[in-house]
Each structure stands twice: as C-alpha cells, then as structure tokens.
C-alpha cells in the first residue's frame, strides 16, 4: 500500500532500548526496515550498575526478525557517551536518520528530602542525555538534510506529580529543548517532537494500578512514535500524550491578558489586583510558534500612544504563549 510507513535504508538510534518502551520502538522500527543502534546501559531502575545483556538481547531479537542492529552500551549521561552512540551508528551503517531519546531512570523523593545527587542524576540522564546524543546526531542530520528526533517528556513534567520535582523539571526541560531545536532544524528538514507515554514498564510497575498495568502495553505508544519518525510526517515542535490507544496533543497556551497602566510608568500591585480576573482569563488562549511571535503580539497589544489612565482596554491582538 502506498501509505504504508517504511524505514528502509534508514538508520535509527533508540536510547534505553534494552527494555520497556525503547525495546518496542526498536523492534517496530526494525520490522519496517530500519537499521538499529540499540543503546542501553543495562543498569537498575535508579540508574545504578550496568550490563551488556539488555542491549544484546534486543539486538538478537531484531536479528531474528531478519533486520540489522548493533548494540551500544554507552551511557547517554555524558558527552563522550552520546558521541560514542552516534559514532556507532555512523560506523556500522553510515548515517543517522532517527534519534529516539528514551533512556530514563527515576529517583523519586519529595523536595524536602531530595539530595543534590538525586536531582543531578535525573537531570543528567534525561535532559543532558538528550543533548549529548542529539547534538552529534543533529550534525549528521544537517549534512544529510534529513532527520527525525523524538524526546520523551512526561505527564509528570507537563502537569506535575507529587514526589518528582527532579524528574518533572528534566522532562519539561526537554519540551524547551524541542521548542528551540524545531527552529534550528527547520531548514534542514529535521523535525523534532515530544512524546509523553504511559506504559507498563519497570519504571511504572509500582506506580500504576495492577488492572491498568496489564492494559498499558508499550505497544500502544509505539505507533505514534513511529508515525512521528516517518518521512511522511511533517509535524514538528509538538507534544503528544500516548497511552492504551488514546493519543492527544498538549500545548502551552497563553490567554489574552490585559493592559494595565499607561505604558509610561509601571503599574502598581493594586492595579494588578484590580485587573486580576482579566490577567488570569484564559478565554481565547492560543499557542504561538516561537518567542518572537509571542512577544511581538504582546508588544503590539500594548499601544504606547494611549495616554489613558482609566481602565485599560483589552488588547485587540491575541497574546500568545512563549
Ligand atoms: P525502562 O526502565 O523500562 O527503560 C528505560 C531504559 O533506559 C532501561 O533499559 C535503562 O537501562 C535505560 N537507561 C537508563 N539510564 C541510561 C543511560 N544513562 N544510558 C543508556 N540507557 C539508560 O523505562 P520505560 O518506562 O520504558 O521508560 C522509557 C522512557 O519513557 C523514559 O524516558 C521514561 O522517563 C519515559 N516515561 C515512561 C513512562 C511510563 O509510563 N513508562 C511515563 C512517562 C515517561
């Protein structure tokens, strides 16, 4: 069928592909023709230790399907590790078309009890990890004029989750990384999107209710991720939730707000208080493509020629998100 999604001749790096979601992404990409770099440190859920078995097992599974794969045991958490992962792809297969930044660990703790080491461990795997792998891959993709990048965000970051300030911050940081990389990749046909999965894996085995755990198969997340990696998908800079056959898009939106004061002198806190309902109002909230657009709309909304000190008019231009 002409609309079949294939990855023949393409090379994909999946980090943390020795288990859970990453393993399924790697297997599904391989079934559709991609050559795989299966990266996994093979450590425990909190990131301690390491073993080559995790990546090796998935490489064998892929080979059993008749597809090509190589293992990489480097940690995404260092620039050297990231460089080695991308080098592996180039050495083995000559290019990099797809990067799925998926490797992850947890160090859950309320902020009151969180040690700096627990904060740093999460940041280095999730946020630094995406930089460490994506940077060298991006350089190859620019040369080729083609690339598809996925970052793995989380509902914990998008909406908040008790006991996960470290994880939430890193996961939301990835959305910021994406927002800007989408602009820098634009003229090279490099698309980047974020996926917030929910799936039954080692990371969620003691978090999700047991009856749901059975139904939340990683196989339900993979189709969305594969579509975002396809040549035919032109989407970029978007965040998608994916679980159990339910898929939707999440976005930062900004309300229209209010003009307070005369634009000559700063308004008082009392004026902010008086205008709070309008400032807080999300009616007609909208997205914007980048910060320039968002700030431009904001500046345009304010008319500095107005001498009025009486209640400010509502902006005529929709103020958009940053
Ligand atoms: P998992 O624990 O089954 O798989 C993660 C894999 O990453 C493991 O095999 C682990 O060895 C590997 N890994 C850890 N640190 C690494 C490092 N420094 N370098 C290379 N590999 C490393 O977990 P799961 O659930 O499959 O998670 C995949 C991604 O999805 C993670 O980024 C996670 O934060 C994210 N996520 C998962 C959710 C879920 O419901 N399972 C919810 C939201 C986000």
Model ipTM? 0.99
Least confident of 206-220, 238-252, 299-313: 299-313
Would you say the CB of residue 128 lies under 6 angstroms from ligand 1? no
Digit-coded pLDDT (tens) for 143-202: 999 999 999 999 999 999 999 999 999 999 999 999 999 999 999 999 999 999 999 999
Q: Which atom of ligand 1 is nearest to the CA of 43?
A: 11
- Give the ligand 1 atom nearest the CA of 153: 44
State the span(s) of the chain assigned CATH 3.40.50.720.
11-250
Instruction: Give the largest CA-CA distance in the chain.
Output: 75
Helix (H), strand (E) at residue 194: strand 190-197
Give 301's pLDDT tier (boundaries 50, 70, 90).
Answer: low
DSSP 101-167: E-------B-GGG--HHHHHHHIIIIIIHHHHHHHHHHHHHHHHT-EEEEEE--HHHHH--TTBHHH
**pLDDT, tens only, 50-71:** 999 999 999 999 999 999 999 9
Other CB atoms within 10 A of residue 318 CB: 15
Concerning whether 167 is annotated as a catalytic residue, the answer is yes
- Give the pLDDT confidence of 205-238 residue by residue, as tens digits: 888 888 888 889 999 999 999 999 999 999 999 9
The alpha carbon of 21 and the centre of ligand 1 are apart by a number of angstroms equal to 7
> Which residue owns the Cα nearest ligand 1 atom 34?
104
Residue 298 has a pLDDT of 72
CA of 20 to the centre of ligand 1 (A): 7
Q: Which of 115-129, 210-224, 307-321 has the largest mean confidence?
A: 115-129
| pLDDT at residue 119 greater than cutoff 90 | yes
Q: Which candidate in 25, 167, 188, 227 is catalytic?
A: 167
CATH architecture of residue range(s) 252-322: Orthogonal Bundle (1.10)
All CATH 1.10.287 domain ranges in the chain, comma separated = 252-322
Q: Which two tokens stand for residue 184?
A: 């820098």
Closest atom of ligand 1 relative to the 243 alpha carbon: 40
What distance in angstroms lies between residue 213's CA and the mean position of ligand 1's atoms? 16
Nearest-CA residue for ligand 1 atom 6 is 16
Rounded to whole angstroms, how far apart are CA atoms 77 and 148? 21
Q: What is the pTM assigned to this prediction?
A: 0.93
Report domain 11-250's class: alpha beta
CA of 40 to the centre of ligand 1 (A): 10
């Amino acid at each position: 069928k002409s609309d079949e999604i294939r990855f023949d001749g393409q090379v994909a790096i999946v980090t943390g592909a020795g288990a859970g979601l990453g393993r399924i992404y790697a297997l599904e990409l391989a079934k559709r023709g991609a050559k795989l770099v299966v990266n996994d440190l093979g450590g425990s859920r909190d990131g301690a230790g390491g073993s080559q078995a995790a990546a090796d097992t998935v490489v064998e599974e892929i080979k059993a399907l008749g597809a090509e794969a190589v293992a990489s045991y480097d940690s995404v958490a260092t620039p050297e590790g990231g460089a080695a992962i991308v080098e592996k792809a180039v050495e083995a297969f000559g290019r990099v078309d797809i990067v799925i930044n998926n490797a992850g660990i947890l160090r859950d703790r309320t902020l009151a009890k969180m040690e700096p080491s627990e904060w740093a461990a999460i940041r280095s795997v999730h946020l630094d990890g995406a930089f460490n792998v994506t940077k060298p891959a991006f350089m190859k993709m620019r040369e080729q004029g083609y690339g598809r990048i996925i970052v793995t965000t989380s509902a914990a970051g998008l909406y908040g989750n008790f006991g996960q300030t470290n994880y939430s911050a890193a996961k939301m940081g990835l959305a910021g990384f994406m927002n800007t990389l989408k602009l820098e990749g634009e003229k090279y046909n490099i698309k980047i999107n974020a996926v917030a999965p929910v799936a039954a894996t080692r990371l969620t085995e003691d978090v999700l209710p047991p009856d749901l755990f059975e139904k939340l198969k990683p196989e339900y997340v993979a189709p969305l991720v594969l579509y975002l990696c396809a040549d035919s998908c032109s989407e970029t800079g978007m965040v998608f939730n994916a679980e159990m056959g339910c898929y939707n898009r999440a976005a930062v939106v900004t309300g229209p707000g209010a003009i307070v004061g005369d634009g000559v002198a700063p308004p008082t806190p009392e004026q902010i208080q008086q205008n709070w309902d309008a400032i807080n109002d999300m009616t007609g909230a909208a997205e914007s493509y980048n910060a320039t657009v968002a700030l431009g709309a904001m500046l345009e909304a304010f008319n500095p020629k107005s001498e009025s000190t009486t209640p400010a008019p509502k902006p005529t231009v929709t103020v958009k998100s940053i």
